[in-house]
Amino acid sequence: MAGGNGTTRRSGARTPKRRLGVVLVDPLPVVRAGLALLVGDRPDMKVLAEVGSADEAMEVLSRIRLERVVVLVGLGLDGDHDAHWLIRSIRRRFPTLAVLACGAKADAGTISRALFMGADGYVDKNLDPVRFVESLRTAATGEMVLAGPPTDWVGQIAEGVRRQHDIESRLTAREREVLRVAAEGLTARQIAERLGVRERTVTTHLGRIYGKLGVGGRVAAIRVASMSGLVTVGALE
């Protein structure tokens, strides 16, 4: 049958399905290279970009116009713009993109935090390569993905997400920031210097945090937040 442009299509011919675009975000160049080889070897996938920081990722994503895209975010990204910051930023600015957190045997709290921030799931780097790439395809369809964690973690992960909703509804943004810095093991004075506020302001925030979480001190507050994945425990471990 002839088309309007004069070309001829065979009856029953199928239009090739568009390839799934994948953006790889990981701080380790070797990991990015390995994932790029794995993904790029699939005929239905295409690596759109490989970047090592959250800021680079946001810049790249602002230029992508494809509809079927999965962003694979390595949980090893740290700093102010860490993996969780990136996941939340993508979800807010590019809500139609699929986002998968990626780590190596991440604990339930870390996975809960990624899901709470807006990830469509988690995939473990220790998975069989076939299962790994299949997880990307599944995420692209809009389904939740938990590939790698033990099946008996599902309830714990879900509870962690619920706790984070609860904690974030009780604490202000500044209080959550103070709690996250406190989890690094810094003193009130050091926290104040980090955040550019007075030491008395930090102690006031901490006192309010203890009251809202129903605990008697800093260690207990950090433990509660750590169990839900809201903070990563540093020097207190």
Domain boundaries, the chain: 20-152, 171-228
CB atoms within 10 A of CB 89: 18
Cα distance between residue 105 and residue 126, in whole Å: 7
DSSP letter assigned to residue 102: E
DSSP letter assigned to residue 3: -
Mean pLDDT of 62-69: 88
pLDDT of res. 224:
81
Select the more confidently predicted residue: 232 or 205.
205
> Which helix (H) or strand (E) element contains residue 124?
strand 121-124
Cα distance between residue 63 and residue 55, in whole Å: 13
The predicted-structure confidence for 114-162, as pLDDT tens digits, reads as follows: 998 899 999 999 999 999 999 999 999 999 999 999 888 888 888 888 8
pLDDT of res. 91:
92
DSSP letter assigned to residue 171: S
> What Å distances lie between residue 141 and 67, 123, 155, 171, CA to CA?
12, 15, 23, 34
CB atoms within 10 A of CB 160: 24
Fold of 20-152: Rossmann fold (3.40.50)
pLDDT of res. 234:
52
Q: How confident is the model at residue 191 (pLDDT cuts 50, 70, 90)?
A: very high
Mean pLDDT of 25-29: 97
Q: What is the pTM (predicted TM-score) of this model? A: 0.72
Mean pLDDT of 46-60: 96
Residue type for position 177? E
171-228 domain in CATH 1.10.10.10? Answer: yes
